[in-house]
Amino acid sequence: MSTLGHYMIDKHGRRMRKLRISLLDACNLRCFYCMPEHPAFKPQKDWASAKDLMHITRNLVGLGIEEVRLTGGEPLMRRDFEEIVCELSTLPVKKLGLTTNALLLAPYLPLLQHTKLQHINISLDSLDAENFIRITRRDVFGAVMDAILTAKAQGFTVKVNTVMMKGVNDHELSAFVEWSATHDIPVRFLEVMNIGVMESQFRKRFLPASDMMAILGTDYQLSALSNMPDSTARNFSVSNGAKIGFITSESNPFCTGCSRLRLTPKGQIRPCLFMEEGIDLKPLAPADYPAALAAIIAMKPIGRILHQPQPMYQIGG
Ligand code: SAM
Ligand code: SF4
């Protein structure tokens, strides 16, 4: 650990080493569990500029952040996405990742080949074009699937994230396991979170990972894989050759191992997905960062906060 790493350790011994940057709240899909059908997005002038993001991230990396992931909203909708990725690629990070719905991904792949951004997590909640429309309210399944397979074929480390919901896509669990084996792409099943727009229908839709495992257990053997202590997923290899994971944000939150800080589109650093409190890093000089980080890390909860009315697309999932 670097001598500066102590700025990143909280009183529970958790070391903050991952930064999740939400580039904007806008999106080109309307996944019903994430946002309303007619959301009001923040104006572009509110977003931290590419220059601000670089300044902030450079300072945080200097203090111990090792992994950076870009998210949103839909991060590929930022017109300066190329500039942001190229700039961030000059930083000494171990991993630079992207979480995207992949709709705009294909044209970016040749550029990304030459950057540090090699880990791409893609949201795909259905393998059926009709069900995909019901979930995302957009008829773009083919473009998303093509982009996933192209990214994989071009050598990127691709993972698929699937939010599993009762009565929505739980009948597709086995199909995803077969798809994972066929394409050699890990699929992580996310428990839907009781957050933002989901609060009103959470009880109806929530499917705990234990139920998903029981359903899959009738047809497959699941063998646990070893995990990093701060991994958010419990990963398994499956008897058909698939690699799957479960992200148990609701039934078994990973707060005690959490190593993550969040940056909002406005450049505010937050200690937790479930907290709206934060500090605007844009105006701070490098010398102010240790104190700001100490304040943020001291606010980080050790257990799951139950209520977060702010929707996922505004915080950055
Ligand atoms: N638009 C990009 C995408 O969909 O990958 C990045 C942002 S999206 C908010 C990030 C992740 O949050 C996606 O995998 C999405 O499925 C997940 N997400 C959004 N709302 C959620 C909820 N209520 N429960 C669980 N996951 C959610
Ligand atoms: Fe957009 Fe991602 Fe939210 Fe779907 S989950 S609406 S793709 S931000």
* pLDDT score of 2 more than 50: no
User: Is the residue at 5 inside a domain?
Assistant: no
* CB half-sphere exposure, 53, CA atoms < 13 A: 29
Identify whether 8 is part of a domain: no
Residue 147 falls inside a structural domain: yes
Q: How many domains does one find in the chain?
A: 1
Average pLDDT over residues 218-230: 91
pLDDT, residue 309, reads 64
Domain containing 41 — which CATH number?
3.20.20.70
Domain that holds residue 63: 16-315
Mean pLDDT calculated for residue range 25-35: 96
pLDDT given at position 310:
67
Are 291 and 297 in contact, with CB atoms under 8 Å apart? Answer: no
Q: Among 33-37, 144-148, 297-301, 312-316, whose mean pLDDT is lowest? A: 312-316
- Say whether pLDDT at 227 is over 70: yes
188 domain-assigned: yes
Listed residue (120, 65, 85) closest to 269, CA to CA: 65
* Domain assignment of residue 9, yes or no: no
Q: What is the pLDDT of residue 307?
A: 67
pLDDT of the residue at 301? 83
pLDDT in tens, 73-130: 999 999 999 999 999 999 999 999 999 999 999 999 999 999 999 999 999 999 999 9
Q: Give me ligand 2 centre to Cα 258, in Å.
A: 23
pLDDT in tens, 167-210: 999 999 999 999 999 999 999 999 999 988 998 999 999 999 99
Expressed in angstroms and rounded, the spacing between residue 290 Cα and the centre of ligand 1 is 31
**Residues in the ligand 2 pocket, defined by CB under 6 Å:** 27, 29-31, 34-35, 72-74, 101, 123, 313
What is the per-residue pLDDT for 178? Answer: 98
Relative to the CA of 28, which ligand 2 atom is closest?
A: 1
The whole-number average pLDDT for the span 36-46 is 93
Q: For 57-66, 93-102, 299-308, which range has the lowest pLDDT when averaged over its residues?
A: 299-308
Using CB distances shorter than 6 Å, the residues near ligand 1 are: 27, 33-34, 71-72, 74, 99-101, 123, 161, 163, 190, 192-193, 195, 198, 312-313, 317
Looking at ligand 2, which residue's alpha carbon is closest to its atom 4? 31
What mean pLDDT is predicted for residues 205-230? 94
What pLDDT score was predicted for residue 182? 98
Mean pLDDT of all residues in 244-249:
95
- pLDDT at 232 (0 to 100): 83
Output the CA 194–ligand 2 centroid distance in Å.
Answer: 15
pTM recorded for the entire structure: 0.95
Question: Is 266 a domain residue?
Answer: yes
Is 214 among the domain residues? yes
Distance 312 CA to ligand 1 centre (A): 7
Return the percentage of the chain with pLDDT > 70, whole number: 95
What integer is the mean pLDDT of 17-26? 96
